[in-house]
Amino acid sequence: MIMQISSRFDGGAVEVVDASDGQNVRLRVRPDTAADFAQWFYFRVDGMAEQRCTYRFENAAQCAFPGGWQGYRVVASYDTENWFRVDAEYDGQVLAFSHRAEHDTVYYAYFEPYGEARHHQFLGRIRRQGIARVHSVGDSVAGRALECVTVGKDNGTAGEPTPVIWIVARQHPGETMAEWFVEGLLKRLLGLDDWAGDPVGRLLREHARFHVVPNINPDGAALGNLRTNAAGANLNREWLTPSATHSPEVLHVRNAIEQTGCDMFFDIHGDETLPYVFVAGSEMLPDFTERQTLEQRHFVDAFKTASPDFQDRYGYEADKYREDALKLASKYFAHRYRCLSLTLEMPFKDNADLPDGIHGWSGARSSALGAAMLQAVLAQVRAFPKSATQ
């Protein structure tokens, strides 16, 4: 058979320079639509069963995060369900990997994809369960619904004040581990699968109100972009002054949060370079309060107890985003509501503290981390029943 390479599917992205050899393929990482970010790739190869081929990304050094290629391994799958890692080498210019496919069709990606079909199937399952409400808070640039899962104690219920918790994922659509994380979190929160009867999820539903946006950038996800939406906007630089035409995704979610208030905010991401799980806080803000400091420290300690995958030794410098802090989601809401507001980062590579030679960091580990974070959220709700917004 003749080799065929395709990326004409949901989330697909690659540029083929030359595949005529059949054993040495020249590729380029395709930049985002309407932007120059390049790092995400996802493509399919047919006709290579039992044959070894070497693939070279010739523009790896010009990508958005060239340091991310150091120690990186490509993810591969024969069925788009079960993914494994393939060793790669980066010489400072070219990222190359060699693989002998066991079947006629093989998929390669930057990280384990989370497709639009899975997104809709999972949200449909939540609708059928009947515990949570799945609703749209607005439309994306291209007209896709921005879906939100709302569950928990109603704000109007008599009794103790209800903490309002917002979680958004995939501002950067190529950071697919973020939606895997949310899937695991929602399964535990709603008592799905192995979490049926879980007391953590039940207590949180009884004592808090959750609003979860699994994919705030559905256009970018479908287009196979790393960081931007269909208009070329990096959504996590739009929160201070979102645009109805350029970044409606941010505008709609921000408006929805204005309607409910916010006592905890979590923005879920992936980091291309650091092989660790960590959070970035808002302590660089000049109006960051002592209570926020206490809340942030308490949550980090509770999360470390909840999951050995989480740590606080490695991460971003506290002043990394000082210049444009309020353009970023977690910083904006820390300032707006004086609440616990964090950006969670997971690795594209592996967790150097607990490496997995077969899968590296994966969708399954991201889901497990999402479920584990709820234990830290419950500890936070108990220690701080209502934040300084009251």
φ, ψ at 375 (rounded to 5°): -65, -40
Q: Is 272 a catalytic residue?
A: no
What confidence category does residue 1 fall into, taking pLDDT thresholds of 50, 70 and 90?
Answer: low
3-state secondary structure at position 325 = helix
Q: What percentage of the chain has pLDDT greater than the value 70?
A: 97
Mean pLDDT value of segment 154-175: 86
Q: How far is Cα of residue 150 from the mean position of the Cα atoms in its chain?
A: 19
Looking at residue 385, its pLDDT comes to 80
| pLDDT(159) > 70 | no
346 touches 311 (CB < 8 A) = no
Q: What percentage of the chain has pLDDT greater than the value 90?
A: 93
Mean pLDDT value of segment 177-191: 99
pLDDT higher at 253 or 390: 253
Looking at residue 156, its pLDDT comes to 59
DSSP 107-127: EEESS----HHHHHHHHHHHH
266 touches 344 (CB < 8 A) = yes
Looking at residue 388, its pLDDT comes to 40
146 touches 140 (CB < 8 A) = yes
Task: Give the Cα separation of 118 and 64 in Å (integer).
Answer: 28
Q: Which two tokens stand for residue 140?
A: 């994306």
Looking at residue 158, its pLDDT comes to 56
Looking at residue 157, its pLDDT comes to 55
124 touches 187 (CB < 8 A) = no
Q: How far is CA 343 from CA 241, 246, 329, 352, in A?
A: 19, 23, 8, 20
Looking at residue 106, its pLDDT comes to 98
Catalytic residue among 147, 238, 272, 345: 345
**Ramachandran quadrant class, 374 (left: phi over 0; alpha: psi -120 to 50; beta: rest):** alpha
Dihedral, CA of residue 114, residue 307, residue 302 and residue 311, to nearest 10: -90
Provide the mean pLDDT of the chain.
Answer: 96
Looking at residue 242, its pLDDT comes to 98
Looking at residue 389, its pLDDT comes to 42
| pLDDT(390) > 50 | no
Kindly report, residue by residue over 277-328, the tens digit of the pLDDT.
999 999 999 999 999 999 999 999 999 999 999 999 999 987 777 678 999 9
Lowest-pLDDT choice from 37-46, 50-59, 147-156, 350-359: 147-156
- 360: closest CA among 114, 83, 39? 83
Looking at residue 2, its pLDDT comes to 86
Kindly report, residue by residue over 15-72, the tens digit of the pLDDT.
999 999 889 999 999 999 999 999 999 999 999 899 999 999 999 999 999 999 999 9
Kindly report, residue by residue over 222-241, the tens digit of the pLDDT.
999 999 999 999 999 999 99
Task: Give the Cα separation of 65 and 269 in Å (integer).
Answer: 15
